[in-house]
A and B are shown apart, each in its own frame.
Chain A
Amino acid sequence: MSAYLDHAASSPLRPEALDAMLPWFSEQHANPTASHRRGRRARQALDEARGVLAEATGFTRGEVVFTGGGTESDNLAIGRNRPSGSIIVGATEHPAVLEPAVRQGAHIAPVNSRGVVTADAVAALVTEATEVVSVMAVNNETGVEQPIAAIAAAVHEQAPDALVHSDAVQALPWLDLTTAAEGVDMLSVTGHKLGGPQGVGAVVVRDGKMPEPLLVGGGQERDRRAGTQNVAGIIGFAAAVQASIDDRTERLARIDRLATRLLDGLVDQIDGLAPTVDRSVRVPGIVHVCIPGITSEPLLFLLDEQSLACSAASSCASGAQGASHVLDAMGVDAVNTAPLRLSLGWSTTDADIDDALRLIPAAVDQLRSGGRHG
């Protein structure tokens, strides 16, 4: 028995994605730039995948650039060699945005106590020098939705040539980006947060606004990202996105019910446990709670022993648990408190929630009562 509540880290592969990929590992395998018919079939399949991503994001097919995942997409969008002060990013961005931005002297837009970067907070930082503004659509730790369409409008009003980017990696499973990201110039998305394979993503960029490529070489992706495409991966990615569009209404309702049951059950059983953000500002599938009196590292250890997979803040390169810059930015006092992220997805069932509601309170009890000779 094993319960998986870590979809925001990586969601299991959807069967649709696996089925779609398999032929491209075997009988249909080819290089999509080859001129022979197998190559042409592969290129055609990529074009169809591009169409799915275009439909999902509200961009055109030609504006979709496939990449090696969310981090590459984010790095590409932030760009390189920008003057200090020309980048504005939200305080709770993923490191894939924050790192390249901070290295280039970015301005950091604060979040309010609900974890939201308001359009006003961003607008206050916009100047004539602003080149790129990046605010994530949904936060990876707390699930908080950011008002990116309003941010795009506010930025463009003051600085029409500035590029507005949004890391929509966590948003793609939950939001209709064609409306939620209206007016945004660039979006980063990835496959493995919604049942596609790992290591495949895309950045969609309005025509003519493409930043300098990170990879140059064979001219693939119209010179915007060189290197032979991961054909099977891209096809699996598109299949997962399509499945995710097809079942969105039903899935969101189901996951909202499961997540509500999970949160209510935890609040009910664990003294002092509180949701970190209000349901009204987050997507249904990410449940973030803070549990006072314990720390997350031993909690995750015990849950792991019981085969419940979930996360705390962020894991550093060594695998150790680090402090959360997201909670810091929100002003959450995480001293002697265990942050816990339980993230649901397409494959989550009532059985996962049953396990979580049994295992988490028991683990918290053990840690709270544990002493030197406990």
Chain B
Amino acid sequence: MAERVLVGMSGGVDSSVAAALLVEQGFDVVGVTMKLWGGESDSGCCSVSDVDDARWVANQLGIEHHVFNFGDEFNEHVVNPFVDTHRTGGTPNPCIECNRHIKFDLFFDRASVLGFDRIATGHYARIATLDDGTFRMQRSIDPLKDQSYVLHMLGQDVLARVLLPIGGWHKPDLRAEAERRGLVTAGKPDSQDVCFITKDGGREDFLAARGGLTPGVILTEDGKQVGEVPATELVTIGQRKGLNVSGMSEPQFVVDVNLQESIVTIGPRRSLQDIETGFTQPVWAHEPFTGDALVQASAHGTAFPAIVEFDRVVWHKNRDRIAPGQSLVFYDNDLVIGGAIAT
């Protein structure tokens, strides 16, 4: 009997093609749209029209489609921590928390309980099987779309039972494929940024509505006040734009954010740089690791060589400081070894 696969369908083109490929590969496929965010969104991934699109594609593919309401859990594990991290001066990555707690935990468990053998999603990443039989998250073949960074937290139990059907596709080819198959989502624009943050309101309105924002002052490294910011919570280490300080002899970057005292410190590039970055809450694809690795600190950033130690990475050369709350992901070539949260 064919393996039963529960595929997450957001109503976008990627997961639509993922579902189509699974059907073609002979799996017994059921589609699910997770309803995550109940508030305002631009298109995000949870609006009624997106559910309608997913349902329509499921109908085109001849598979059943269900909606799972994980709204409460999404608030608890993604939205509230997003707000809290900002409040403590960090820069959260909610997509990572959503994958960690919702898509590859709750959804995974739900699929198990319902008797499915596997889950699948439309992420751009692959799962490699090593010679010893263990699994690794592997980068997509499309470097522009690779999402292995936001999937770095998956352990062996999950990796063993996840299918990522589009990890071997380049996005333009995938769109053409969706077109060729006549899927209604073929022309939908890519989702942008965080699904619960609107383009118009931005993080500013979102956080302002959830407890207000704190104005702060901008100081130079020697303590001279050179400007003000309307919301200290929205300033990120490494930020250069939007500070409105002039008359400096060289470009200025945010080198420190002190939320307790509402102080943003700026300095030249060299003050931003550091040879090491501390981390907490490491997770591993297989076993805990120390040693040489490539380390990536943002979703589409470059991975730089570093030594992974017990609680920090030591870069081969000075690097711009990483905002606390961001994830560090450790790679061996294009395979994910693990990841952690920068402190």
Cβ–Cβ contact B114 & A320, under 8 A:
no
Instruction: Assess whether B101 is interfacial by the CB under 8 Å rule.
Output: no
Interface check B310, CB cutoff 8 A: no
Residues of B near A274 (CB, < 8 A) are none
Which residues of chain A are near B157, meaning CB under 8 Å? 372-373
A363 to B309, CA, bound (A): 48
Task: Give which listed residue, A301, A322, A373, contacts B112 with CB less than 8 A.
Answer: A373
Q: Are B114 and A302 in contact (CB under 8 A)?
A: yes
Are A298 and B48 in contact, CB atoms less than 8 angstroms apart? no
Which residue from chain B places its CB closest to the CB of A321 in the assembled complex? Answer: B69
The complex places the Cα of A17 from the Cα of B52 at a distance, in Å, of: 32
Q: How far is the CB of B183 from chain A (nearest CB, A)?
A: 20
Separation in Å of the A43 CB from the closest CB of chain B?
Answer: 39
Most buried by B among A298, A320, A366, A373: A320
For the complex, is A370 an interface residue (Cβ under 8 Å from B)?
A: yes
A370 near B51 (CB under 8 angstroms)?
no
- Quick check: B69 and A297 within 8 Å, CB to CB? yes
Contact partners of B33 in chain A: CB under 8 A? 318
Instruction: Using known A-B contacts A372-B157, A373-B157, determine if residue A320 contacts B112 with beta carbons closer than 8 Å.
Output: no
Which single residue of chain A is at the shortest CB-CB distance from B49?
A: A318
Closest to A302 in B: B114
Chain A residues within 8 Å of B113, by CB: 298, 366-367, 370-371, 374
Tally of contact residues, A, Cβ under 8 A: 19
Q: How far is the CB of B65 from chain A (nearest CB, A)?
A: 8
Measured between beta carbons, the chain A residues less than 8 angstroms from B108 are 372
For chain B, the count of residues having a C-beta within 8 Å of the partner chain is 19
> Which residues of B107-141 are within 8 A (CB) of A?
108-110, 112-115
Asked if residues B110 and A366 are in contact (CB atoms below 8 Å), the reply is no
**Shortest beta-carbon distance, A287 to chain B, in Å?**
24
- Asked if B51 contacts A298 (CB within 8 A), the reply is no
What string of 1s and 0s marks CB contacts (under 8 Å) between B242-271 and chain A?
A: 000000000000000000000000000000
B312 at the interface (CB under 8 A from A): no
Q: Is the CB of B109 within 8 A of A320?
A: no
Interface flag for A319 (CB, 8 Å): yes
Instruction: Tell yes or no: B176 within 8 A of A by CB.
Output: no
When A317-B48, A318-B48 are in contact, do A366 and B67 touch as well, CB less than 8 Å? no
Within 8 A of A (CB), among B37-68: 46, 48, 51, 55, 66-68
> Quick check: A319 and B51 within 8 Å, CB to CB?
yes
Question: Which residues of B have CB within 8 Å of A318?
Answer: 33, 35, 46, 48, 51, 67
How many angstroms between the C-alpha atoms of A301 and B66 in the bound complex?
8
Interface residues of A in 19-49 (CB under 8 A from B): none
Across the interface, which residues of A come within 8 angstroms of B115, CB to CB? 302, 366
Residue among B46, B48, B55, B108 with most chain A CB within 10 A: B48
Residues 307-342 of B, flagged 1 when their CB comes within 8 A of A and 0 if not, give: 000000000000000000000000000000000000
Interface residues of A in 353-374 (CB under 8 A from B): 366-367, 370-374
What's the Cα separation between A297 and B33 when bound, in Å? 13
| Complex interface: chain A residues within 8 A of B67 (CB) | 318-321
**Are the CB atoms of A322 and B114 closer together than 8 Å?**
no
Measured between beta carbons, the chain B residues less than 8 angstroms from A367 are: 113
* B69 surroundings in chain A (CB, below 8 A): 297, 316, 320-322
Interchain residue pairs with CB less than 8 A apart (15): A298-B114, A301-B114, A304-B66, A316-B69, A318-B33, A318-B35, A318-B46, A320-B35, A321-B67, A321-B69, A366-B113, A367-B113, A372-B157, A373-B112, A374-B112
Top 4 A-B residue pairs of the complex, sorted by shortest distance between their CB atoms? A370-B113, A320-B69, A320-B35, A319-B67
Instruction: List residues of chain B with CB under 8 Å of any chain A CB.
Output: 33, 35, 46, 48, 51, 55, 66-69, 71, 108-110, 112-115, 157
